[in-house]
Chains A and B, each alone.
Chain A
Amino acid sequence: MAGAEGDDSLYPIAVLIDELRNEDVQLRLNSIKKLSTIALALGVERTRTELLPFLTDTIYDEDEVLLALAEQLGSFTVLVGGPEFVHCLLPPLESLATVEETVVRDKAVESLRKISQEHSPVDLEVHFVPLVKRLASGDWFTSRTSACGLFSVCYPRVSSTVKAEIRQHFRTLCSDDTPMVRRAAASKLGEFAKVLELDYVKSDIIPLFTALASDEQDSVRLLAVEAGVSIATLLPQEDLEALVMPTLRQAAEDKSWRVRYMVADKFSELQKAVGPEITQNDLVPAFQNLLKDCEAEVRAAAANKVKVFCENLPEDSRETIIMTHILPCVKELVSDTNQHVKSALASVIMGLSTILGKDNTVEHLLPLFLAQLKDECPEVRLNIISNLDCVNEVIGIRQLSQSLLPAIVELAEDAKWRVRLAIIEYMPLLAGQLGVEFFDEKLNSLCMAWLIDHVYAIREAATCNLMKLVEKFGAEWAQNTIVPKVLGMANDSNYLHRMTTLFCINALSEACGQEITTKHMLPVVLKMSTDQVANVRFNVAKSLQKIGPVLDSSALQAEVKPVLEKLATDQDMDVKYFAQEALSGTCPLISLTFKHTFS
């Protein structure tokens, strides 16, 4: 029957539609994610007249469902009949733009911005702009905050009378009663300024910016700082001093530390936006003040920007500015009372050496590095050590090595295992820069000591570290320095140390190559198959599987296979399991190579 055939194909769609309001959120979510399938089955006409009205009122649902819906609707244009009918999507998105959950609202606004591009200029004025106005004059602040993000997408494409209206609406929102709306307006001010004609930027945006930057709410003022940066990029140089700088100067000296923090945080963007002249006259003193701020959070944010700020200074006067203005402040920060400030500085201070060159680095920066290497806070020392490469390029690491060593040793023996973990991760880098001799002499014993640390994470990191060192220094070095020590641990009375030997072998076999693995490592592994601790035995099985690819076929066949077969009959369940795993993992390899040698 022809009809029955058609019905059959409708069934899955029918299920999807019914599940749009299933009690299980996950099923509803799945259904919403397949909304395009439903719409396709319904056809453009019914999608417009039935599905969308239903969705418009479905705003009671869980956030994740609404979020998925808002996202889907952004790419629904084709399913409602193309750009001609795109305005049908506005009602559901409008209702989603008023829900209280910010992520949903933001997604709805994102989708609205997306489909605004698919409106013809006429549709934009007839359908889209009225929606923006409705949202902008809505009763609840949720709708007004959403409106703030929509002005900039319709402004460039509408007639001049509508443009005037849009500017008026934006002005109103900037002086809204609720701080939420003013915050939304402040955060979109820069974006809106970009689409405005320059004259209007000067006549409209600047007063709004000034007003928001002196808002009574800290949270509004701090968003105005960011807007100020975007506005500054739009204005010609000659207007900056009069229109933007007074407000920004005031922000840098704001009573609230959060606003000053924002200025410090955006400082490099600001520097780029205002150009070299204002930087030299205004920003340098402002930056000095931020580095000396009474609030540690502000100092830390400013300290983070030291390198970028100095890098972007005009080349001709860079060195003088740094030496006379910035460096004195930096020197003070090295002995700051707050450890976050010091560690922020430590993460960038090494970068200054490339800017200042060898002589200045040795004379001025080196004492600071050395002081920070002796800092009481491990994070500061770690940050210095992690950035050694910058200094290495300029003055060579030898200058530092005398102080470096005690710092490293102290970190390596820190009581906090996270600190030990962090320094281990820098070891390969340090080894590369300090060279093999220095390493063998001073650091090798540390790397070995970590292998018997009482924290597993450290032992694990230490094995990984050995592998990286071997990659750096080569197999021969490994055979002479590391391998004997590692293999020595196989006879340790502590089974955890014996297991560490196996983990090391797993990590090192590939880097060391076939010869060392077969000659030196394999016998040890095989010997350990008779260990009395089951954990060691099943790790032998695992290790054999792991190093199998490195070994040659005769060794596999003659030595590995019998041991694995023996382990597969072990009385311990886990040992049996892993031995069988290893056999099935390595045996194809065994049989293949076997065939190969005998054919």
Chain B
Amino acid sequence: MGCDQIDGFSASDSSWDVTWRVSFKCACVGWGGGGSSHDLTCRTWPHGTPRSSSLQASQRRPYRSFSQALKSSSAVFCVLLTATAWNCAIMASPYLSGWSKNRPPSRGEYNVYSTFQSHEPEFDYLKSLEIEEKINKIRWLPQQNAAHFLLSTNDKTIKLWKISERDKRAEGYNLKDEDGRLRDPFRITSLRVPVLMPMDLMVEASPRRIFANAHTYHINSISVNSDYETYLSADDLRINLWHLEITDRSFNIVDIKPANMEELTEVITAAECHPLQCNVFVYSSSKGTIRLCDMRAAALCDRHSKFFEEPEDPSSRSFFSEIISSISDVKFSHSGRYMMTRDYLSVKVWDLNMENRPVETYQVHEYLRSKLCSLYENDCIFDKFECCWNGTDSAIMTGSYNNFFRMFDRNTRRDITLEASRENSKPRAMLKPRKVCTGGKRKKDEISVDSLDFNKKILHTAWHPKENVIAVAATNNLYIFQDKIN
């Protein structure tokens, strides 16, 4: 499969190979004995996959070509790991050898670009409430200069971070020698102006703004508007609109809190801005419905302009119906025409022009329908799986249990199950399609539903906006897979 064929994937042969994996073992991500949590400099990865020496050399490549390459390929995407206690934003940028606009990328190698601590655990004294440092969402901002910007949020506080590179250092002091010894102040005969000299590339993350105190409930989504000056943040009952440069004020645009909390029947589970139309956003609810609002119509968007709901099939109604129909993620396609929602067992693609039913429905792990009772007992039924589109909207991907993740080709209607695990993914190994046995006799290579490990779940996945490169977060590992290149 050539690189020019980047829309869609081939389900017949599993042409995804592992290019890089990072393990989030305690020893890897901890900040070390001496390092403070504000240590924002780039760290080399102590216990990652073995890297070739050429990769390490690449870190000293001149920074200009580095950021140019980033710009030309937009090859920066983010994966969020929440399963670990250490919350890190990770930027994976491709190893640059042979990477250019015209030539297909060589077999990629990835290195950690920067790690930093975004939030610290806090305590709300007024409500006697512990606020975890756990990050709920990360969103990149459109690039505005050589630095990268991202929004990260925990349950209550949203932060804007800048990740920038520095490759020059000032040299020459008046009161000190080159080796740091103090000079006699009375023997200064001339003034020296410092000179900037090149140095090793350093990546810094610095907090730029803190948007706090606007959410009473837990924030579940943040989404940057296409006007590039506002973003919205959603908690269980409210959605707020912020200006990226104003931290002391936000506008509440949706409030579904009933006057009497006992009448509460649904909560907001996710919200997203339209990728092209600055006035449109959607939010999904725990009842499996999606509301589309137009911010032009009114300052308060309590009244939706579209309401997407699939009528329930009475034959499959059960105790769990409401729980499994809760939407855990909603994503607009890049084109802005469709949106995709993930509920517990399926992924649905909706045409924005058709409200009464989805245009496509894909079963992610239908075989779990018989196991809902035990999944309810071990709380897995409340897992929030995310989903994502590929760059051309022709394929979608979402996670499952047992370190499996699923891909669906929208044109051919074919699907594939792949596994992200240490055991069967050596670097550059090809991924084998996996199959779950759904009753009857188990064939060779098949896995029985009963032997699935529900502790190994893939909740977060990301697809590169231009290339066929994906990132999959499996508990405390991040895998990056790349389409096979001949």
Inter-chain contact A14/B175, CB cutoff 8 Å: yes
Chain A 1-18 interface mask (CB, 8 Å, partner B; 1/0):
001101110110111011
Q: Which residue of A lies closest to B174 (CB)?
A: A14
Inter-chain contact A14/B191, CB cutoff 8 Å: yes
Does B359 reach chain A (CB closer than 8 Å)?
A: no
Q: Could you say which residues of chain A place their CB within 8 Å of the CB of B278?
A: 179, 216-219
Inter-chain contact B191/A7, CB cutoff 8 Å: no
Inter-chain contact B191/A257, CB cutoff 8 Å: no
Quote the shortest CB–CB distance from A330 to chain B (angstroms): 22
Quote the shortest CB–CB distance from A357 to chain B (angstroms): 37
Given the known inter-chain contacts A17-B192, A42-B193, A257-B297, please indicate yes or no for A11 contacting B229, CB distance below 8 A. no
Given the known inter-chain contacts A50-B193, A102-B245, A140-B146, please indicate yes or no for A18 contacting B173, CB distance below 8 A. yes
Inter-chain contact A256/B279, CB cutoff 8 Å: yes
Chain B 174-209 interface mask (CB, 8 Å, partner A; 1/0):
111000000001111111111110000000000010
Given the known inter-chain contacts A18-B174, A295-B299, please indicate yes or no for A8 contacting B279, CB distance below 8 A. no
Q: Which residue of B lies closest to A9 (CB)?
A: B188
Inter-chain contact B175/A54, CB cutoff 8 Å: no
Q: Could you say which residues of chain B place their CB within 8 Å of the CB of A315?
A: none
Does B58 reach chain A (CB closer than 8 Å)?
A: no
Inter-chain contact A257/B296, CB cutoff 8 Å: yes
Contact of B279 among A10, A15, A183, A218 (CB under 8 A): A218
Q: Could you say which residues of chain A place their CB within 8 Å of the CB of B143?
A: 140
A interface bracket (residues with beta carbon within 8 Å of B): 35 or more
Contact of B188 among A10, A42, A60 (CB under 8 A): A10
Q: Could you say which residues of chain A place their CB within 8 Å of the CB of B229?
A: 179-180, 183, 219
Does B392 reach chain A (CB closer than 8 Å)?
A: no
Does B144 reach chain A (CB closer than 8 Å)?
A: yes
Cα A216 to Cα B196 in complex, Å, equals 45
Chain A 44-74 interface mask (CB, 8 Å, partner B; 1/0):
0010001100100110100000000000000
Inter-chain contact B193/A57, CB cutoff 8 Å: no
CB under 8 Å from chain A, chain B span 292-318: 295-299
Q: Which residue of B lies closest to A102 (CB)?
A: B245
Does B360 reach chain A (CB closer than 8 Å)?
A: no
Quote the shortest CB–CB distance from B232 to chain A (angstroms): 15
Q: Which residue of A lies closest to B190 (CB)?
A: A10
Contact of A219 among B166, B195, B227, B298 (CB under 8 A): B227
Cα A179 to Cα B278 in complex, Å, equals 10
Quote the shortest CB–CB distance from A292 to chain B (angstroms): 15
Inter-chain contact B186/A142, CB cutoff 8 Å: no
Inter-chain contact B296/A256, CB cutoff 8 Å: yes
Inter-chain contact A13/B142, CB cutoff 8 Å: no
Inter-chain contact A15/B175, CB cutoff 8 Å: yes
Does A269 reach chain B (CB closer than 8 Å)?
A: no
Given the known inter-chain contacts A54-B170, A100-B149, A140-B145, please indicate yes or no for A14 contacting B188, CB distance below 8 A. yes
CB under 8 Å from chain B, chain A span 252-280: 255-258
Does B226 reach chain A (CB closer than 8 Å)?
A: yes
Inter-chain contact B191/A41, CB cutoff 8 Å: yes
Given the known inter-chain contacts A11-B185, A14-B188, A46-B193, please indicate yes or no for A98 contacting B145, CB distance below 8 A. yes
Inter-chain contact A4/B186, CB cutoff 8 Å: yes
Inter-chain contact A20/B188, CB cutoff 8 Å: no
Inter-chain contact B191/A57, CB cutoff 8 Å: no
Does A108 reach chain B (CB closer than 8 Å)?
A: no
Does B217 reach chain A (CB closer than 8 Å)?
A: no
Does A450 reach chain B (CB closer than 8 Å)?
A: no
Quote the shortest CB–CB distance from A3 to chain B (angstroms): 7
Does B71 reach chain A (CB closer than 8 Å)?
A: yes
Q: Which residue of B lies closest to A12 (CB)?
A: B185
Inter-chain contact A54/B144, CB cutoff 8 Å: no
Among A6, A18, A102, max chain B CB count under 10 A is at A18
Does A178 reach chain B (CB closer than 8 Å)?
A: yes
Q: Could you say which residues of chain B place their CB within 8 Å of the CB of A180?
A: 144, 228-229
Interface of A is mostly: helix
Quote the shortest CB–CB distance from A420 to chain B (angstroms): 26
Contact of A18 among B146, B166, B175 (CB under 8 A): B175
CB under 8 Å from chain A, chain B span 21-68: none
Inter-chain contact B192/A57, CB cutoff 8 Å: no
Cα A296 to Cα B193 in complex, Å, equals 59
Q: Could you say which residues of chain B place their CB within 8 Å of the CB of A4?
A: 186
Inter-chain contact A8/B173, CB cutoff 8 Å: no
Quote the shortest CB–CB distance from A42 to chain B (angstroms): 6
Q: Could you say which residues of chain B place their CB within 8 Å of the CB of A3?
A: 189
Given the known inter-chain contacts A14-B174, A17-B174, A57-B168, please indicate yes or no for A217 contacting B227, CB distance below 8 A. yes
Q: Could you say which residues of chain B place their CB within 8 Å of the CB of A101?
A: 208
Inter-chain contact B188/A178, CB cutoff 8 Å: no
Cα A6 to Cα B191 in complex, Å, equals 11
Inter-chain contact B194/A21, CB cutoff 8 Å: yes
Inter-chain contact B193/A179, CB cutoff 8 Å: no
Cα A40 to Cα B12 in complex, Å, equals 74
Q: Which residue of B lies closest to A56 (CB)?
A: B196
Inter-chain contact A54/B185, CB cutoff 8 Å: no
Does B402 reach chain A (CB closer than 8 Å)?
A: no
Does B164 reach chain A (CB closer than 8 Å)?
A: yes
Quote the shortest CB–CB distance from A225 to chain B (angstroms): 15
Cα A58 to Cα B168 in complex, Å, equals 9
Chain A 68-89 interface mask (CB, 8 Å, partner B; 1/0):
0000000000000000000000
Q: Which residue of A lies closest to B204 (CB)?
A: A60
Does A139 reach chain B (CB closer than 8 Å)?
A: yes
Cα A98 to Cα B185 in complex, Å, equals 38
Does B107 reach chain A (CB closer than 8 Å)?
A: no
Cα A341 to Cα B296 in complex, Å, equals 19
Inter-chain contact B298/A294, CB cutoff 8 Å: yes
Q: Could you say which residues of chain B place their CB within 8 Å of the CB of A41?
A: 191
Cα A17 to Cα B162 in complex, Å, equals 28
Cα A51 to Cα B174 in complex, Å, equals 14
Quote the shortest CB–CB distance from A294 to chain B (angstroms): 7
Cα A139 to Cα B194 in complex, Å, equals 29
Inter-chain contact A295/B145, CB cutoff 8 Å: no
Quote the shortest CB–CB distance from B168 to chain A (angstroms): 6
Q: Could you say which residues of chain B place their CB within 8 Å of the CB of A258?
A: 296
CB under 8 Å from chain A, chain B span 431-472: none
Does A541 reach chain B (CB closer than 8 Å)?
A: no
Does B147 reach chain A (CB closer than 8 Å)?
A: yes
Cα A52 to Cα B195 in complex, Å, equals 11
Q: Which residue of B lies closest to A295 (CB)?
A: B298
Q: Could you say which residues of chain A place their CB within 8 Å of the CB of B226?
A: 179, 217
Cα A111 to Cα B316 in complex, Å, equals 69
Inter-chain contact A7/B193, CB cutoff 8 Å: no
CB under 8 Å from chain A, chain B span 312-371: none
Inter-chain contact A218/B227, CB cutoff 8 Å: yes
Chain A 100-137 interface mask (CB, 8 Å, partner B; 1/0):
11100000000000000000000000000000000000
Inter-chain contact B173/A297, CB cutoff 8 Å: no
Q: Could you say which residues of chain B place their CB within 8 Å of the CB of A143?
A: 145
Does A365 reach chain B (CB closer than 8 Å)?
A: no
Quote the shortest CB–CB distance from B172 to chain A (angstroms): 9
Chain A 174-211 interface mask (CB, 8 Å, partner B; 1/0):
00001110010000000000000000000000000000
Contact of B191 among A10, A217, A296 (CB under 8 A): A10
Q: Which residue of B lies closest to A11 (CB)?
A: B185
Q: Could you say which residues of chain B place their CB within 8 Å of the CB of A57?
A: 168, 196
Cα A143 to Cα B146 in complex, Å, equals 11
Does A99 reach chain B (CB closer than 8 Å)?
A: yes
Does A141 reach chain B (CB closer than 8 Å)?
A: yes
Cα A58 to Cα B142 in complex, Å, equals 24
29 A-B contacts, Cβ less than 8 Å apart?
Answer: A3-B189, A6-B189, A10-B189, A11-B186, A14-B191, A17-B174, A17-B192, A17-B194, A18-B176, A20-B194, A46-B193, A54-B194, A54-B196, A101-B208, A142-B145, A178-B228, A179-B227, A179-B228, A179-B229, A180-B144, A180-B228, A216-B277, A217-B226, A217-B227, A218-B295, A257-B297, A258-B296, A296-B299, A297-B299
4 closest Cβ contacts across the A-B interface? A14-B174, A256-B296, A50-B193, A140-B145
Q: Mark A residues whose CB is within 8 Å of B.
A: 3-4, 6-8, 10-11, 13-15, 17-18, 20-21, 41-42, 46, 50-51, 54, 57-58, 60, 98-102, 139-143, 178-180, 183, 216-219, 255-258, 294-297
